[in-house]
């Protein structure tokens, strides 16, 4: 579709969506009132900048029903992601919203070459995380035989993959690398692995990671991007050109803003990605700040799709970490340490060993606890680990260290050491 036509559709949908949010979502109406903007002021996408931003903190503040745009009896599903202080962000879906989301995932699968003859192994987590349910639904829509494996249990994954000859795998790039190693150990070579394509996302991965995955698994590796607040995976997807991800622009309107000032930036400039959902009913998120740093491009694509493309995310404008596919905020860790009466001299270290993230938290003991017996210390480490696991959904290795052993910095404390090279 010519870009001008896409923009016309976006404008029509935006006018309707703003009216819906204003009339049906008291939280967003308040934000618009505070900014002095009314639905009548929005005539098309050229007026988008007049609307207030929404942030993760807004969704947290309004927990659990912030941005709910339909009566609960019209909603059929929730998905969820962790918030910054333990309160999760809950996204609601009507059946229409699920259909729309699954269509987006179906487009991603088709762009990766899938059709009804394919066997699609979905090895993203199922449950509150959007990865499994989204690609599962997309795969059904394409008519592929779908293997709803979820993540983990590598032995069973490999057995189903090889016995049922899975041709497409959907999982995080780090899990794909791990599966590749295990296949090699089992004696498989890239040309005896049945896969032809992989759809990898939910965390950052580099061009070098892509080359390795393609070589080791004998596949073409496609990037897929999305976030729970906007629906889940399939907000954008790569085509055979592998040169950035096409944004499903008929449903999601993208902008790039200066993260410091909030000013919209022209196409081609690097800044924070902001999305407006154009036709979601139950969770009509408008101008949502993703905190992902990115660049958009309208350069024509050899695949013929005219949807704008986003580069691989180049970092974040907040301190969110993605560890083993789970979103983690340092503030969540700090909240647990405070609750458990620990010192706030701590350090978080993340690295990658054999394609798997390692996650260590070092906490200095106050001098009065330093004399504790080894038995007491290891019990305390275990209980801290359990408290962190319950807050974050993943348990780091906890190390209690003697007072004054964590290096002091002259400026801001260095709390996070991330040794993974995630961004190109
Ligand atoms: O990660 C949804 C998803 C599932 C995407 C499966 C792709 C595949 P959240 O858990 O809400 O949702 O995390 C969203 O993950 O803001 C990015 O920072 C990061 N992210 C997602 N996809 C990519 C990607 C899902 N392809 C957050 N490359 C986003 C880099 C990604 N970062």
Q: Per residue in 284-340, pLDDT tens?
A: 999 999 999 999 999 999 999 999 999 999 999 998 999 998 999 988 998 899 888
CB 346 within 8 A of CB 403: no
Mean pLDDT of the chain: 94
Q: What does the pLDDT average to over 148-175?
A: 96
Ligand 1 near 226 CB (within 6 A): yes
Distances (CA, A) of 1 to 246, 299, 302, 305, 343: 13, 15, 14, 8, 58
Supply the residue whose CA is at minimum distance from atom 29 of ligand 1: 227
- Measured in Å, residue 109 CA sits from the centre of ligand 1 at 17
CB 111 within 8 A of CB 239: yes
pLDDT of 409 > 70? The answer is: no
CB 246 within 8 A of CB 237: yes
Per-residue pLDDT of 246-284, as tens digits, reads: 999 999 999 999 999 999 999 999 999 999 999 999 999
Per-residue pLDDT of 39-62, as tens digits, reads: 999 999 999 999 999 999 999 888
Ligand 1 near 272 CB (within 6 A): no
- Measured in Å, residue 394 CA sits from the centre of ligand 1 at 17
Q: What does the pLDDT average to over 213-238?
A: 98
Residue 290 is predicted with a pLDDT of 97
Q: Among the atoms of ligand 1, which is closest to the Cα of residue 124?
A: 6
Q: Which range (223-237, 295-309, 370-384) has the least confidence?
A: 370-384
Give, for ligand 1, the residue of 132, 171, 213, 225 to mutate: max count of ligand atoms closer than 8 Å to Cβ. 225
Supply the residue whose CA is at minimum distance from atom 30 of ligand 1: 204
Enumerate the β-bridge partners of residue 157.
none
d(C-alpha 345, C-alpha 378), whole Å: 19
Ligand 1 near 234 CB (within 6 A): no
pTM for this prediction = 0.93
Supply the residue whose CA is at minimum distance from atom 15 of ligand 1: 202
């Amino acid at each position: 579709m010519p870009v001008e036509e896409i923009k016309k559709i976006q404008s029509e949908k935006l006018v309707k969506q703003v009216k819906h949010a204003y009339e049906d979502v008291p939280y967003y109406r308040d934000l618009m009132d505070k900014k002095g903007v009314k639905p009548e002021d929005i005539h098309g996408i050229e007026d988008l900048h007049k609307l207030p931003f929404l942030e993760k903190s807004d969704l947290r503040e309004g927990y659990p029903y912030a941005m709910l745009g339909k009566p609960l009896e019209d909603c059929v599903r929730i998905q969820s992601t962790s918030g910054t202080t333990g309160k999760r962000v809950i996204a609601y879906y009507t059946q229409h919203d699920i259909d729309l989301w699954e269509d987006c995932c179906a487009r991603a699968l088709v762009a990766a070459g899938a059709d009804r003859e394919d066997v699609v192994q979905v090895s993203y987590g199922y449950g509150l995380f959007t990865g499994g349910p989204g690609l599962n639904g997309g795969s059904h829509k394409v008519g592929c035989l779908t293997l709803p494996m979820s993540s983990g249990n590598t032995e069973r994954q490999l057995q189903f993959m090889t016995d049922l000859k899975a041709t497409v795998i959907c999982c995080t790039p780090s899990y794909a690398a791990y599966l590749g190693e295990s296949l090699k150990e089992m004696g498989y070579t890239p040309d005896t692995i049945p896969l032809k394509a992989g759809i990898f996302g939910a965390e950052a991965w580099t061009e070098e990671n892509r080359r390795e995955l393609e070589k080791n698994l004998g596949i073409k590796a496609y990037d897929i991007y999305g976030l729970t607040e906007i629906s889940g995976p399939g907000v954008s997807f790569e085509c055979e050109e592998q040169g950035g991800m096409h944004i499903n622009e008929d449903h999601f309107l993208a902008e790039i803003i200066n993260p410091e000032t909030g000013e919209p930036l022209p196409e081609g400039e690097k800044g924070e990605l902001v999305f407006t959902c154009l036709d979601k009913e139950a969770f009509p998120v408008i101008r949502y700040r993703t905190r992902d740093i990115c660049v958009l491009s309208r350069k024509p694509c050899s695949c013929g799709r005219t949807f704008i493309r986003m580069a691989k995310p180049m970092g974040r404008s907040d301190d969110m970490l993605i560890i083993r596919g789970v979103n983690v905020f340092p503030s969540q860790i700090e909240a647990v340490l405070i609750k458990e009466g620990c010192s706030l001299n701590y350090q978080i270290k993340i690295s990658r060993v054999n394609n798997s993230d390692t996650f260590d938290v070092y906490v200095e003991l106050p001098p009065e606890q330093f004399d504790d017996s080894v038995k007491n210390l290891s019990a305390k480490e275990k209980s801290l680990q359990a408290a962190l696991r319950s807050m974050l959904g993943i348990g780091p290795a906890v190390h209690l260290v003697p007072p004054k052993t964590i290096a002091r910095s002259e400026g801001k404390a260095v709390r996070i050491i991330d040794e993974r090279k995630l961004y190109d």
